[in-house]
Structure 1
Amino acid sequence: MHRRRTAIALSAVLAAAPLLAACGSTPHPGAAAVVGQDRITVAQLEGRVNEIRTAQRAAATDDVQYQQAVSRTSSLSRDTLHSLVLDRVLDRAAHDAGVSVTRRDVQQLRTSLEQQAGSAKALDAAWLEQYGVAPARVDDSLRTTVEAQKLAAALGADMTTVEGKDTFWKALGQASKDLHVDLNPRYGAWDVSKSSPVDAKTPWIKEVTAPAAVPQAA
């Protein structure tokens, strides 16, 4: 029960949380972002975006429904890049805290969510609809959700309190600073002082705090 309450608390907080650290201005030809030693190329980003668009097309019953999905995700490239960067920042913070995630952890979360959604297909559809996550990437998304939960626990961050929330985001802020996150200006800036729509579209930010809650497709 305590874990459930902690999960619910995290969701309410992280959905409104700001992005972490500042974006540098160093040019990186062909890169959408550089996170530590990890270079996310424009081609890689476009590949991810195409995966999502293909999944949206497959899920749509007709062209009108597909265009509606495209309209709802008009900032998909930017949001996808910010999600990719934020996931890497979380990885660094988790590593620094000695946190690891097993396949069993991910499977347990998937099983729980599938039971609520009604099927694996329904869960995949919900993640695509609510978060723009292609079906092939859902397990990666669930892994990140578990990682965020475990990080909060390792930090002793009680996400029902302001202090706990501050502790959690301070750890991610430090990780972001250590990684020297640098975004291509084409995709916006990486600024701790500004919130971003991606916060509400990144699964682990919302679902880490309520892993038992499956979003309902519109």
Structure 2
Amino acid sequence: MHRRTALSVSAALLAAAPLLSACSGEARPGTAAVVGGERITTSALQAQVNDVRAAQNRAGEAAAGLIQSTPGLDRSKLNRMLQTAVLERAAKDAGITLSRREIEEFRNEQLQKAGGAERLEASALEQAQLAPGQVEADLRFKLLRDRLFSHYGSPEKAVEQLGAVAQALRIEVNPRYGAWDAQQIAIGDQVTPWITRRTGPGPAPAGA
């Protein structure tokens, strides 16, 4: 994930003025969501979307099909940003950390399975709507998720803890993108990626 997409604005500043209005159902302009008192800006979200659209447009003959197959890209990207925030907090609470070396080793494993960087990026774009610059953050997400699974002994127990963290973070989403479901840890009917693990031979699809 690009540095510009990081959560911004201090909790103290946010406390001075509500960002999402429960009465009107309308969000303060420029806010896509609020997580633990900090907001995800619409500009940060749009940067994620724009990077994917740019990558799709560079896909030659496949460009039109890739774009047509992802009409809700902004919602999907926001969903992943929120899930990442939940995962990072849950990992921190569990004392789980990842070194740069561990991420690099995992990346090398995925490169070997995919057959090189170009194929890995193409697969990530097609299957998970990831721009090349978003692949590393996705690898961190998957590695951190698997560490959390191991820490709690099973995906089910880990997801239960993730749900508790999602509740504690008091996530609010701009209604234009849908409604946040803390139990599903997702916006509306979005897929919850950490429930799916690699259980058979071969690499899992990027973003899975």
TM-score scaled by length of structure 1: 0.75
Residue number in structure 1 paired with 2:37: 37
- CA-atom RMSD, angstroms? 2.4
Residue number in structure 1 paired with 2:162: 172
Which stretch shifts more, 128-137 or 33-42?
33-42
Change (3 A) 1:100 1:88: same
2:106 to 98, 109, 129: 109
Residue number in structure 2 paired with 1:126: 123
SS in 2 for 1:39: strand
**Identical positions, percent:** 36
Q: Name the CA distance, whole Å, in 2 between partners of 1:154 and 1:96.
A: 11
Structure 2 contact 163–183 (Cα < 8 Å) conserved: no
Deviations along 1:178-204, one digit per CA (max 9) or x if unpaired, are 11101000000111456755326x5x6
Q: Name the CA distance, whole Å, in 1 between partners of 2:201 and 2:45.
A: 27
Higher relative contact order (CA 8 A, sep 6+): 1
SS in 1 for 2:191: helix
Structure 1 contact 35–85 (Cα < 8 Å) conserved: yes
Change (3 A) 1:52 1:210: farther
Deviations along 1:108-147, one digit per CA (max 9) or x if unpaired, are 1111111111101111111111000110111111011111
SS in 2 for 1:33: strand
Deviations along 1:82-116, one digit per CA (max 9) or x if unpaired, are 11001101111111111111111211111111111
Q: Post-superposition shift, 1:209? A: 6.4
Matched, 1:89 2:86: yes
Unaligned runs of 5+ in 2: 1-19
Runs of 4+ with deviation above 6 angstroms: 208-211
Q: Post-superposition shift, 1:208? A: 6.6
Residue number in structure 2 paired with 1:199: 191
Report the AA paired with residue 127 of structure 1: A
Unaligned runs of 5+ in 1: 1-23, 160-164
Residue number in structure 2 paired with 1:47: 47
Residues 138-177 of structure 1 aligned to structure 2 (within 5 Å): 138-157=135-154, 159=155, 165=156, 167-177=157-167
SS in 1 for 2:134: helix
Change (3 A) 1:205 1:109: farther
Structure 1 contact 112–212 (Cα < 8 Å) conserved: no
How many equivalent pairs are there? Answer: 181
Change (3 A) 1:133 1:207: farther
